[in-house]
Amino acid sequence: MCKFRDLTAEEIECRVATCNQKGVSLLLYKDARCDMNILDETVGSMNWQRKHTRDNANCTVEIWDADKKQWISKEDTGTESYTEKEKGQASDSFKRACFNWGIGRELYTAPFIWVNASDCNMMQNNGKWTTYDRFEVVDIKIKNKHITGLSIRNNKTGNIVYVYGNTSAKKGNTNADKPIVQDKEVKCPKCGKVMAPTKAKDGNLVPPEDILKNFGMCIACCKKEQELKNQLVEAAKA
């Protein structure tokens, strides 16, 4: 049977697991597209298939064994997501079934990942601590399906904020000018123009998604609205 390669740093994503005034803990994960790509790459797109049962709660991934002339299957169950219930459950059960085949199994050996509050932008929202910073794996070393080295960067600050084991990366500002990569264009709902990352007072770039979330429009429209409000205030005084 086939042997699946280790995941690369680009295929691993980081998710904030817990958050408090002292910092955040991170989890490493892979998405379903990663599994599909590795299956296509290793066994060929025509030599694997997936089946879902129990309303997407269970997924069976089958791979064709040319020597035995039969499909070999491995199955697992998933959990619902907070957003799209059925789609999230189908995706999770698929990813777990792929873990059974060995795809990304090294993620189970990840160390506890903690990022101090001094290394990320913390804020309180409705009495709870949160952060809108995004994190990415910049280097990972794997031996015998065990993670032996790991470094993680805060994309918003450009700083390496976590280092573990056998890795050449060091904590600190290694790429402060690293551009923010957008998955898709973000347009201002007011003026319709494509929004770009904006440099904050501390020199860090703020993604347009965060600007839209906090202000509901681009910075240029915010300034125009503020100017209009100031003019109305002055007119009322006169």
**Token reading at 136:** 């990415």
Judge whether residue 222 has pLDDT over 90: no
Q: What is the mean pLDDT of residues 167-185?
A: 60
Q: How far is CA 57 from CA 40, 75, 82, 95, in A?
A: 24, 11, 15, 12
The alpha carbon torsion through 37, 38, 43, 49 (nearest 10 deg) reads -60
CA 208, CA 187: separation in Å to the nearest integer? 9
- Please report, as a single letter, which amino acid is at residue 161: V
The tens digit of pLDDT for each residue in 12-36 reads 999 999 999 999 999 999 999 999 9
Q: What is the mean pLDDT of residues 55-63?
A: 91
Instruction: Write out the DSSP string of the chain.
Output: ---PPPPPGGG-EEEEEEEETTEEEEEEE--HHHHHHHHHHHH-TTSEEEEEETTTTEEEEEEEETTTTEEEEEEEE----SS-HHHHHHHHHHHHHHHHHTTTGGGGGPPPEEEEGGGS--EEETTEEE----EEEEEEEEETTEEEEEEEEETTTTEEEEEEES-S--SEES-TTPPPPPSS--B-TTT-PBP--EE-TTSPEEPHHHHHHHHSS-HHHHHHHHHHHHHHHHHHH-
Q: What pairs with residue 149 in β-bridges?
A: 141, 165
Judge whether residue 228 has pLDDT over 70: yes
Judge whether residue 49 has pLDDT over 90: yes
**Token reading at 99:** 């873990």
The tens digit of pLDDT for each residue in 84-125 reads 555 678 889 999 999 999 999 999 999 999 999 999 999 988
101 CB-near residues (< 8 Å, 6+ apart): 4, 61, 63, 74
Q: What pairs with residue 65 in β-bridges?
A: 70
User: Which of 19-33, 43-57, 70-84, 129-143 shows the lowest mean pLDDT across its residues?
Assistant: 70-84
DSSP strand pairing (58-65 vs 23-29) = unpaired
Structural domains in the chain, CATH included, are 9-177 (3.30.390), 179-238 (no CATH)
Judge whether residue 62 has pLDDT over 90: yes
